[in-house]
Amino acid sequence: MLRWTEDAWAYLAYDAEMWQAFSQGHYWAGLTDFTGLHPPLWHLAHNLIEWLAPIPMLLIGLSLICSIATVEIARRLGWVVGLLVATSPLQLAYAAELNNYPAFALCAAWLWWAHQRAETTPSSRALMIATAVGAWLHLLLAGIGLILAATVSRRMLLRTVGCLVLAMLPLAPNILEVLTSGGTSRYMIK
């Protein structure tokens, strides 16, 4: 069952912190602050859509585009993989969610595709880039990317770690704040 309830729309409240920072002229804070326990990429995408055309259906459309792209990337890994992803109960249930699950699935598929490419083309930078971009969406994606890089080669792991560190430097103060916090309640909307 799709979650078309007040809870689904409440996810949009997470975007408000970034919008407020931007409207007060605190652009760096808006671009680098965590919302809840999440890095800013998904909220930046939502805020850009809201700024360009404040139509809620466009936000749902972004999730649908992410879900369709996930299936397409999975299909490139093999038709059985594509079919399994396309018919997965989780993929179907979250295909049009307003939270970052569809984008998470897209980045996870991109990471897996990049991993396959890195195994056949050692000079490929796709896994490094996918890991760095994924980390701006969800820190778990960074971990997945590092695990995948470690299965390719030690060199790929070191290059991916280096790329990830550079990509995450702007978020470092906020990551440290989250990690050293006494609890997560400060980071959740009340």
Instruction: Break the chain down into helix, strand, coil percent, rounded to 5.
Output: 75, 0, 25
Q: Phi first, then psi: give them for residue 35, nearest 5 degrees.
A: -115, 120
pLDDT digits (tens, 9 = 90+) for 46-84: 999 999 998 888 988 999 999 999 999 999 999 999 999
> Which pLDDT score, from 0 to 100, does residue 149 have?
97
> What pTM, to 2 d.p., does this model score?
0.88
> Which pLDDT score, from 0 to 100, does residue 190 have?
41
- What is the rounded distance in angstroms from the CA atom of residue 185 to the CA atom of residue 155? 39
Binning pLDDT at 50, 70 and 90, where does residue 12 land? confident
Triad 2, 7, 8: Cα angle to 5°: 50
pLDDT digits (tens, 9 = 90+) for 162-177: 999 999 999 998 888 8
Residue of 98, 48, 103 lying closest to 73 (CA atoms): 103
CA atoms within 13 A on the CB side of 76: 14
- What is the rounded distance in angstroms from the CA atom of residue 33 to the CA atom of residue 175? 9
